[in-house]
Chains A and B, each alone.
Chain A
Amino acid sequence: MTSKKEESATTGIIIEIIGMHKWFGDFHVLKDINLNVRRQERIVICGPSGSGKSTLIRCINRLEEHQRGRIIVDGIESTNDLKNMEKTRAEVGMVFQHFILFPHLTILENLTLGPIWVRQVPKAKAEETAIYFLEKVHIAEQALKYPGQLSGGQQQRVAIARSLCMRPNVMLFDEPTSALDPEMVKEVLDVMIDLAEEGMTMIVVSHEMGFAKSVAHRVLFMDFGQILEENTPQEFFENPQHERTQLFLSQILH
C-alpha cells in the first residue's frame, strides 16, 4: 500500500477509478467508469437527472458500494475494510445537495465534531480551526447559533466549512446550489471559487455553467450511467461532440 501511496504522490493522481460498475439490484446504474483525477484538479460533472452523477461521487467515499472494478483514493483502495473506509471518508470532504447539518448541535459544534472525535484534535485547537474556516465562508458571527436559525445559503456554507475542518485532500460536491433560492447561489459559489483558487482538488456535480467555465479543468457529461464525453470547459460548451450532450446543453441553456 505504501508503494501505491508513493506512486500516487509522484504521478500526482489522487483518485483513480478503473472499469467500475455498480448495480442497484438489477438496475445497472454505473457502467464501466474510468476516471483519473490529478491533485489540484477541478472536475465538473453534469448530465440529466438520474444519470448516476450522485451515485458516482458517493462511490468515491463509499457511501455506496461498487460491485466491479477498482476505486483508489489517495493510495487506499475502496473495499469493505472498515478502517480504510473511515480513513478515506475523513480524507474526502463531501457536501450534499440538502446541506445536511446536525440540528441538535451549534454551528461551532457541527464543525468541531469530526476533528475532535475522528482526528483526536484537542477541543481548543479544533475550535480555533473551526472559527478560521467559518471566517473563510464569511459566517463566523453565527458560530453559536443552531442550524435551524440559518438560511439555506448560510447552512450550505457551514456544511462546506465543516468538511474543510477535516483538512480533506479532495472535496466532493453533489449539486451544492440546486436546493437553494436563486439569491443564495452566488454566496455559495463564491466560497467554492475561493476554495478552487487555493488549489483544492474538487469534483463538483453542478449545472452552473459560469462556475464550470471559470474553475473547471475538465467537464464530464454523464448519461445512462456512462461518461459520454469529457473535455475542457471551453470545448465542452462551445463544441459538444456527442449528440446527447448537445441536446442536454440546449435544454439547460434555455
Chain B
Amino acid sequence: MISLIGWVKANLFNGVFNSILTLVTLYLLWKSVPPLMRWAFVESLWLSTGQECHAAGGACWSIIPGNIRFMLFGFYPADQQWRPLAAMAFLIGLLFYRRDRRHWKKFLAYAWIVGLFGMGLRMRGGLLGLTPVESTQWCGLPLTLVLSVFGLTAAYPLGVVLALGRRSKMPAIKTLCIIYIEMIRGVPLISLLFMSSVVFPLFLPEGITVNKILRAQVAIILFTAAYIAEVVRGGLQGISRGQYEAAESLGLNYYLTMRLIVLPQALKIVIPPSVSILISAFKDTSLVVIIALFDLLRTTQTALNDPQWMGFSAEAYIFIALIYFLCCYFMSNYSRRLEKELDRIL
C-alpha cells in the first residue's frame, strides 16, 4: 500500500505540471469511459432484430450475427460457403503450424504449395464434384485472405530477387531492377489497381480476358515486391565483404553464397521492417474496392445498406477492425517470436 502511494506520487504527481496533467487525464477518462462502457456492454443488444436495436439506446452488436454470412462471404452461394470456410480454416491451421520453427521442413513447403492451390481450387470448384463458383462471386474475408496470403507469399521472393538484381554487377540487370523499383514506388497502389483493371485490358487481344481478381493480385504483388526489395537491399548492405570472400574462398558459387551465407543473415536483419511492409500490404488489400471487388470492407458496407440495419455502421466497422487487428497482431507477434529465436543463434 505504502509502495503504491509512493509510486503514484513519484510517477503521477511529481511537480505541478504533472499533477495538472494527471488530473485533466483522470477527468477526461471519467467523462468518456463510463458512457462508452454503457453503450458497448450495458445497454447493448447482441441477438436481436434491427427494429429492437433502433428502440434501444446502446450498441447494436446484433448487426454482426445478423449479417455475418454476408459480411464474411458476400455473394458466394450460401449452400457452398463451407468451402471458403474450410479453405480459411486450413490456411489458418497451416499458419499456426508454421509458427514452430521445428516444423520448418521441406514437406512444409510442399504443404504450402498444395495448400494454396487447394484453397483456390476449393473456392473455385468445378472439380471433384464441386459446383463451379465464378470468381466474381468471391467476396469478403476469403477474398481478403487470398489476395494477401498469395500476394505476400509471391511478393517476398520477388522482392529478394529484385534486391539482388539491384546489387548485380551486370549493368543491364541492375538498371532494369532500379527502373522497376523506382517506378513502382513512385505511384500509389490505387493507380496500379486502376491500371490493372482499366489500362491493362486495352493491351490484350480481343476476346481474351484475364480474371479481375488475378489482375488485382498481380498489381498487389508487383507493388509490395518493390518495397520488399528496398528493405532487403538494406539487409544485404549489412553483410560484410568478408562473408562473401570467405564463402567464395570455399569455392561456393554466387547462387550458393547468396542462399547459404548472405540471405539467411540479411533476411534476419530485416525481419522488423519486412513485417511492417507485410502488415501494411495486408491492410492495403482493402483498396481493391475501387475496382469493384468485394473484399471484407466492401461486403460490410453493403450489409449496412440494408434499411433494417441502417445507422449501426460503428458496430460493424469495429468488428471489421477487430478482424484486421487480429491478423496484423498475429503477424507482428509471429515476427517477434521468430526474431527472438534467431537472436539466440546469431
Contacts and interface: CB of A to CB of B under 8 A. Distances in A.
B250 A104 contact: no
A113 B260 contact: yes
24 contacts: A61-B249, A63-B245, A63-B248, A86-B251, A86-B252, A87-B251, A90-B250, A90-B251, A100-B242, A100-B246, A102-B261, A103-B265, A103-B346, A104-B264, A104-B265, A104-B268, A104-B345, A113-B250, A113-B252, A118-B252, A146-B345, A146-B346, A148-B346, A166-B250
Interface in A89-148: 89-90, 92-94, 96, 98, 100-104, 113-114, 117-118, 146, 148
A101 B246 CA distance: 8
Could you say which interface size class chain A belongs to?
20 to 34
A94 B249 contact: yes
Nearest to A93: B249
Interface string B231-271: 00000000010110111111111001000110011001000
B346 A89 contact: no
B245 A89 contact: no
A240 to B, nearest CB: 32
Contact of A166 (B243, B245, B251): B251
A102 B251 contact: no
Contacts of B249: 61, 63, 89, 92-94, 163
A116 B242 CA distance: 21
Interface in B86-143: none
Q: Which 3 A-B pairs have the closest CB atoms?
A: A90-B251, A114-B250, A94-B249
A104 B242 contact: no
Contact of A118 (B251, B261, B268): B251
A208 B345 CA distance: 35
A49 to B, nearest CB: 18
Nearest to B247: A102
A8 to B, nearest CB: 20
Given A86-B251, A90-B251, A100 B256 contact: no
Contacts of B252: 86, 113-114, 117-118
A82 B346 contact: no
A162 interface: yes
Contacts of A104: 264-265, 268, 345-346
Contacts of B242: 96, 98, 100
A117 B242 CA distance: 19
A86 B253 CA distance: 7
Interface in B262-288: 264-265, 268
A61 B246 CA distance: 12
